Chains A and B, each alone.
Chain A
Amino acid sequence: MEGSEKIGRKVKIMRERAGLKQDQIATYLGVDQSNVSKCEAGERQFTVDALERLCDLFGCEMNELMSEETPTESLEFAFRSKVVKNEDLTAIADINRIALNIKQMRQYLRENKLEG
């Protein structure tokens, strides 16, 4: 399976797990729904900027999006996510960015033996 197909499939899995529709992802990324559909099918590639924004939304790192493994835990909505507004997807992505920064900072602290 080619890289773009692999990433597209992974994005689709994570999107469906979160209960989000293609058009919600399209609005969030500022692209057409057909674009998301083609990228998920591996017919087109997501741009690097789009992949970074998807990582923020799903709260994962780029290497997780590119790996073969499917994450066991991902973004969950405790209500019907089909009605989630675009502004909330941006909010979730911004908050997940802070969480990803924490992950990175924890790694720096561990590598430099500065914990505790």
Chain B
Amino acid sequence: MSDPTVRVAERVELLAAETDEGLQGLQPRSATSTDELGREVGAVLRMSDLTLDPNDVDYERHDDETMIINMGPAHPSTHGVLRLMIELDGEYVLRTKPVIGYLHTGMEKTGEVLSYIQGATNVTRMDYLSPIGNELGYSLAVEKLLAIEIPERATWIRMMMAELNRLSSHLVWIATNGMDLGSTSAMIYGFRERELILAFFEKTAGLRMNLNYVRPGGVAADLPDGWEDDILVICDTVYERTFEYDELLTGQPIFRGRMVGVAPITAEEALALSATGPLLRSTGVPWDLRRAMPYLAYDQVDFDVIVGTYGDNFDRYAIRLNEMRESIRIIRQCLERMPSGDYRSQDPKVTPPPRARIDESMEALIHHFKLFTEGFMVPPGEVYSAIESPRGELGCYLVADGGAKPYRLHVRGPSFVNLQSLPLLMRGGLLSDAIAVISSIDPVLGEVDR
């Protein structure tokens, strides 16, 4: 920054110039063609069989009747650095355009310079509310290429941790959603319960977030002594408290006013927009990868896939609340049926030897050295693995060229894709509902921008 006094005088123009995103932002109507306007007003839907009703598009409206306002990127209720440009007619939203990229840190590029072992540390930071999900998607992709068998205990530990993570992620959602709607108590409660789970994560993996716990070949550490009691406490407490949230929120008139019937989406639209997770299930499509294309041991546990009917905010809330109960059901089954055995693959090419072995075995030392300097080689190929993260389908497309680093690592972030439904959901709604709509999509901007 040059001379501060000059800067103050020119501040308005400077600020406008510095925050301008050019064509990425929402353009005024005078600069938008009719086609473009139709597309934006109808969100991105302009399919042949889903044609927009021309009466819906108000071509005649001029710029002086509407107003484009900017929300974010540092708005308290945009769940991170999401910037929305919203065209308003009074209190009603006409067009919305999310402007993203403020948290882009080039993680896919970084993934290409990290070895497969280090890769889990990278991907875990994408969706910071469900780190296990990211690691799991990545590890499954690597293991598919390596064609190695994972011990049964590792699979069940992974499944239990993934469900605990789904629980903690949905708890944060309850908390932030409550906060967005003015219920500060929901905020406190959600974070209070999440604390239990994070404490267990810390006990198991050593970290509360960004665990790097699930790794290619298994998990980083066995469950700690007495984990059964901890899990039991978590299950009992959170299960009981989901009914407290129910009591606090479900019947609450202010909450219902912002949720019931607000921002509906149909199954056809959700499918066309590639929406997954609670957003898709709220429309009544029973699509849950845990059930539809089982991975880990999800085909061996009992749980229900929760679906909605109307596709509105309230359905998405109800789905998440009930998914928490289903997750607890799965965790309880993991607790009962946790097999004994190894928690990681015993293939020395993939799994580092235990510390004690390094002192006594030359071979272990060599394996250790090779693994942490060079990493393991993955045979050439490409693979797409998908898991059901709390937000939807988390895909990992991995291209290996036979070296120790991924040639291309692409992560299909569910929030990134789900965010496309936002303009459609917002359209015609009230600006004050916008906050609830953003929250009901549950975007995590770390994953959107990667």
B is a partner of A: no
Query: Which A residues have a C-beta under 8 Å from some C-beta of B?
Result: none
